[in-house]
Amino acid sequence: MRKNIAVIGSGIAGLAAAWLLGREHQVTLIEQNSYIGGHTHTIDVDEGGQTLAVDTGFIVYNIANYPLLTRLFEVLGVATRESDMSFSASIGPGEIEYSGDSLNTLFAQRRNLLSPGFLRMVADLVRFNRRCKAMLRCNGFDGLSVGALLKREHMSDRFRDHFLLPMAAAIWSCPTRTMLDFPAESLARFFNNHGLLNLIDRPLWRSVSGGSARYVERFLAEIGHEQVRLDAAQAVRRTEQGVEITLASGERPLFDDVVLACHADQALALLDQPSAAEQELLSPFRYQPNRTYLHTDIGLMPQRRQVWSSWNYLSQLTQDGACAVSVTYWMNRLQGLKTDKDYLVSLNPLRLPAEEQIIAEMVYDHPVFDQAAMDAQPRLAELQGQDRLWFCGSYFGYGFHEDALASAVAMADRFGIDTSILTAAAGLSQVSDHRASASV
């Protein structure tokens, strides 16, 4: 029976859900923002008559860890290019700086060749990688958090504060203190899947040619622009006649089923009279808001240009003794921008970029994964289809693009849609168990 379905949220999960469900049903895609794409948000910058498409949210992926996204781009005919995800840290900022590109950039400050603390950090890096691989083989994490594991393994403060936490915080776009409570086994498994426990033999990264908005355009061409409504959903109420959505415009359309392809906390807030299971399984997920700026202020990069990388972590102590942290993405390197001007995307910058150098300002929310959230994840499938509601989003996995896409494919599969156009070619038989990822 052909159904009338609403999908709330137009990130990768919502777009994929609407695209897959629309193959057999009537679908309306509802988005509260003024653009379609969620964390896929490309800004067109006019540089002397030349238009540069600069990404500010989703930027890169790799074939090994993004099989569904790779296949999706093939199906949609989306062109991609080679990129990289090099990493640098600037502590102080500027007091300690290094990047992982080479030995030359690792010891960009030559005094570190004779620094016992820095050499211990490098030695602990090798030991941490070796120990994590061993513990993954024998289930040796004992349910410890990252902070507890570092203490048990007697890792140095320098390794914790100047390498592991900066890299993890950059990946998950969250404060370093949050990563101390992250389940150690989940972090190790993620690092191992992405080759981050290897000093060499790491995956090759790619970005969408012309900006990630190109894949959104291909989605919309197939879904149909007439099926999209830029109107904020304010409430979702189940009735005997169907599922009613209250919109900001005042309309209250009725649908047979509704897919909530938004953040877990947003989904729970929308539900009128959520069930006990919905309350229990959606409430553990918390989100970190990240102030994001597209700008050209190179003062928010490491002081030594030699160490400039794709990801650049900066930290400094505040007057009250706290540690402020920020991440700046060097878009010229990530997207291969053909320009001499440096375009940067900073999350929670240590200071605001110079006003005349700010191009755009956004806020992106990223999920925070503590043990309560990780414990809820395996049971999220229990919510699917209960009283005509369905759920998908990056919180089903590690919080990244592949996770959001995988959750939409798994949801559509449970709905009864043939998803083999993606899963068969991607080599996945159990999409619901797939937890890959790694993007911004």
Q: Average pLDDT of 177-183?
A: 88
- Report the share of the chain in percent with pLDDT over 70: 95
Residue 431 pLDDT level (bands cut at 50, 70, 90): low
pLDDT at 436 over 50: no
Q: Average pLDDT of 189-205?
A: 81
Distance in Å from the first CA to the final CA of the chain: 39
- 252-311 residue pLDDT tens: 999 999 999 999 999 999 999 999 999 999 999 999 999 999 999 999 999 999 999 999
Which residue has better confidence, 174 or 24? 24
Residue carrying the six token digits 């993620």: 190
pLDDT at 240 over 80: yes
CB contact at 8 A, 313 and 87: yes
- Cα 427 to chain center, whole Å? 23
pLDDT at 433 over 50: no
Structure-token pair, residue 350: 């240590």
Which residue has better confidence, 432 or 337? 337
Q: Is 94 left (phi over 0), alpha (psi -120 to 50) or beta?
A: left
The reported pLDDT for the residue numbered 171 is 83
Q: Average pLDDT of 331-347?
A: 95
What CA–CA distance (Å, rounded) separates 297 from 295? Answer: 6
Q: Average pLDDT of 389-411?
A: 96
Q: Average pLDDT of 390-407?
A: 96
List the single range of 80-84, 91-95, 107-111 with lowest mean pLDDT: 91-95
CB proximity list for 430: less than 8 A, separation 6 or greater: none
Mean residue pLDDT of the chain comes to: 92
Residue 437 pLDDT level (bands cut at 50, 70, 90): very low
The reported pLDDT for the residue numbered 435 is 43
The reported pLDDT for the residue numbered 324 is 81
Q: Is 8 in a helix, a strand, or coil?
A: strand
Q: Is 432 in a helix, a strand, or coil?
A: helix
Structure-token pair, residue 95: 């007091």
Cα torsion for 163, 167, 170, 175, to the nearest 10°? -60
List the single range of 32-36, 155-159, 167-171, 228-232 with lowest mean pLDDT: 167-171
Q: Is 107 in a helix, a strand, or coil?
A: coil
The reported pLDDT for the residue numbered 201 is 67
pLDDT at 404 over 80: yes
Where do the DSSP E strands lie in 222-302?
228-230, 233-238, 243-247, 254-255, 257-260, 286-295
Q: Is 51 left (phi over 0), alpha (psi -120 to 50) or beta?
A: beta
What CA–CA distance (Å, rounded) separates 350 from 348? Answer: 7
Which residue has better confidence, 425 or 66? 66
The reported pLDDT for the residue numbered 237 is 98
The reported pLDDT for the residue numbered 158 is 92
Structure-token pair, residue 205: 């990264």
Which residue has better confidence, 173 or 18? 18
What CA–CA distance (Å, rounded) separates 370 from 180? Answer: 9
- 34-46 residue pLDDT tens: 999 999 999 999 9
